[in-house]
Each structure stands twice: as C-alpha cells, then as structure tokens.
Amino acid sequence: MKHQSLKGLATTIALAAVVMLGACHKKTAPPPPPPPPPPAAPTASISVSPDTIQPGQSATLTWQTSNATDVSIDGIGAVQPSGTQQVNPNDSTTYHLVAKSSGGTQEATTRLTVTPAPVAEAPPQTSATEEDLFGRSVKDIYFEYDKSDIRGDQQSAIRTDAQFLNQHSNIGFTVEGHCDERGSTEYNLALGDQRASSVKSALVSAGVNASRIKTISYGKEKPFCMESNESCWQQNRRGHFVYQK
C-alpha cells in the first residue's frame, strides 16, 4: 500500500536525520585534561580535522600527550606520544586515545562523521521533516456506517487539521475516502467519494484552499484493517490524508 511505504520511508529518513544531528552535538564533548600535581600523571588530547567527511575523503587525526610511556589509539594501535595521521574510514568512527604511565592513565576521544553524498542529503531532509510533520499533525476523519457527514466527535480533528494546513500552505494533499467491507462494491465506491468530498468541503470551509486538495475514493478496495468486527470496520470508515508535494 502506497501510503504505508511512504510512511516507512519518511520514518527512515527522519531517523537518519536524528542520528546525524546527534552526532554533530557529540563532537563538542571531548577535552577534559586536568593535570594532577602528583608525580607524573599523563595528559592527552586528540582531535580530527575536518570532523565531517564523505566516503572516500580523508581527515587528519592530531593527538598530543605528555608524561605518557604507552600511547595507543583504538583501531590504529600503538602510536608516538604526539603525532598526526591521515584516516579515511567509510563509516563514522570514534577515535579513542589511551595514554598510560606509572602515574596513571588518561583517555581522550574524538569523532569523525562520515555522511552520504550531499546531493541525497539536503532535499529529502527538509521534505521528510514536512511530510513527517504532516503525518503527525493531520488526523484522519472517521465516519458512521453508511454516512458521509462529519460527525460531532470528528469536528475537533477537522479544526486541528485545518489549522495545521493553513499554517503550512505550501503542502498539497489527497483525501482518500474509505469504507468498511460490508455492502456492495459499487455503492461503497460512491460512498467513499462522498466521504472524501465531505472532508474536503469541511476543510475549505475552514479556510484551506480547495486547489490544494485532491480526492479519491477507494471504497472497500484498500482496507486498513482486515478483520470482520466493529472496531476494524470503524478503522476502515475514514477520510485518510496523504501528503502530496
């Protein structure tokens, strides 16, 4: 079903965005080097420049330690007390430096973020946000059996939907009219058409521009729920919103 796969895609993109944003924040965490007065505790710091690359590019890792007898970086191995090295990982990597001496152990980390090619990055990220917002904010409208008028308990959903849609006036969308499995195929398609139209006119009355709204009836051809009971039938008697743009 089309709207479900769209929803899945949106979720994936949104998740990716969250991970990336999280990664960007994490980089500000690293440097905590307090040198203690007793004998000779080591100090250590590590940084990477640039801190974000694309696959195939390389970055320079720079580290400094003092008073350390044994310095190593996870994934690279034993290294000089201070130095630089080119790295070109394919995935985002956290470099973990450990400096040891008789006076103690000091650790430091830095993270190199590897992003997918930028062409794929920018546009989906913004539209995913908008579509995701649409999916979270715009509520489907549910109907009584064999009825296409907006019932009392759905009026607030219409108001919320209209409010969001008026705030995001660039979004185009489709209202799908759905019916439960009871009754005749042809009549249900006509009824679904009335349901979609009924949602459309309610939104137009609430100030949404009619040219943004497409309608389609699926009758009982594409049910959300396949069981034969009232709770399932209610799920299927709805005006379902699908983000367009």
Partner 1 sequence: MILLNLNLQMKKYRSTILSSTVSSCTELPDVSKRMDDIHRPVSRFTRFTSRAQLLSALSLLILVCSLFPARSFAQDWVRTGSGLGVDKVRLAVPDFKPSNGDSQNAELLKTFNDTFWNDLDNSGVVELISKSFYPLQVPGQPPEVTFGVWNSPPPNAAMLTFGNLAVAAGKVTVQGWLYDVKNTASPEVLGKQYTDVPTGDAVRVIAHRFADEIIFRLGGGIPGIAESKIYFVSDRSGHKEIWVMDYDGSNQRQLTHLGSVSLSPRISPDGSRLAFSSLTKSGWDILMYSIDLNRVVSFPHFGGTNLSPAWAPDGLHLAVSSSRGGNPQIYVCDSSGANLHRLTSNKGPDVGPVWNRKTGAQIAFVSGSTGLPQVYTMEADGTNEQRMTDQGYAVSPNWSPNGQFLTLAWIRKYGPGEPGSSDIYLMDIASKQWVQLTHDGGRNDYPSWSPDGRHIVFESKRSGKEELWMILADGTKLHQLTFTGRNTQPNWSWK
Q: Which two tokens stand for residue 244?
A: 């367009």
Q: Which stretch binds partner 1 (CB under 8 A): 6-14, 22-30, 105-113, 181-189?
A: 181-189
**Site membership for partner 1, residue 146 (CB under 8 A):** yes
**Site membership for partner 1, residue 235 (CB under 8 A):** no
Question: Which of the residues 194 through 213 are near partner 1 (CB under 8 A)?
Answer: 194, 197
Q: Which pairing describes strands 70-73 and 43-49: parallel, antiparallel, or unpaired?
A: unpaired
Nearest residue (CB) to partner 1, 26 versus 214: 214
What's the burial of 190, exposed, middle or buried (CB within 10 Å: 0-12/13-18/19+)?
A: middle
Cβ at position 198, least distance to partner 1 in Å:
10
**Residues 83, 180: Cα–Cα separation, whole Å:** 70
Q: Are 109 and 99 a contacting pair, CB within 8 Å?
A: no
Binding mask 50-69 for partner 1 (x = CB under 8 A): --------------------
Nearest residue (CB) to partner 1, 48 versus 179: 179
List the 238-243 sheet strands across, edge first: 141-142, 238-243, 173-178, 213-219
Residues lying near partner 1 in the complex (CB under 8 A) = 146, 148, 183-187, 189-191, 193-194, 197, 216-217, 221
